[in-house]
Amino acid sequence: MSYLISGLFVILITSILIGITFLIVFRNKNQAAQGVQSLAAQKGWRYEKVNEAHANGYRLRGRDWTYEAIKGTSLIISNTASLDSAQVSQWSTTVLNFTPGILLIGPKQFNVDLGGIGAVVNQAMLTLMIGDAADDALGIEESLIGHMALHERYMIWTNQEEKARDLLTTRVENALIQYPGKIPPVVKFNKDGLVVKVFSKILDKPEEIAGVIAIGEAFLL
Roughly how many angstroms between the first and final C-alpha of the chain, as a whole number? 75
- Answer with the residue of higher pLDDT: 57 or 26: 57
For 110-144, how does the pLDDT look when each residue is reduced to its tens digit (9 = 90+)? 655 545 555 666 677 788 888 889 899 999 999 99
Calculate mean pLDDT across residues 149-169: 96
Mean pLDDT across the stretch 172-180? 98
Give the sheet arrangement for strand 141-143, strand by strand.
46-52, 55-62, 65-76, 82-93, 193-199, 186-190, 103-107, 154-158, 141-143
| pLDDT given for residue 116 in this prediction | 55
* 92/79 Cα distance (integer angstroms): 34
Per the CB < 8 A criterion, the answer to whether 221 and 65 are in contact is no
Binned at pLDDT 50, 70 and 90, residue 76 comes out as very low
pLDDT at 41 over 50: yes
Q: Sorting pLDDT into bands at 50, 70 and 90, what band is 7?
A: low
Per-residue pLDDT tens over the stretch 197-220: 998 889 989 999 999 999 999 999
Is the pLDDT score of 71 beyond 80?
yes
Task: Give 63-85 as a DSSP string.
Answer: TTEEEEEEEEEEEE-SSS-EEEE
Question: Could you tell me if 187 and 80 are in contact, meaning their C-beta atoms sit under 8 angstroms apart?
Answer: no
* C-alpha separations of 217 from 69, 180, 196, 214 in Å: 17, 16, 10, 5
Question: What is the reported pLDDT for 31?
Answer: 59
Residues near 34 by beta carbon (within 8 Å), at least 6 away in sequence: none
Tell me how crowded residue 175 is: count the other CB atoms within 10 A of its CB: 21
SS3 99: coil
* pTM of structure: 0.80
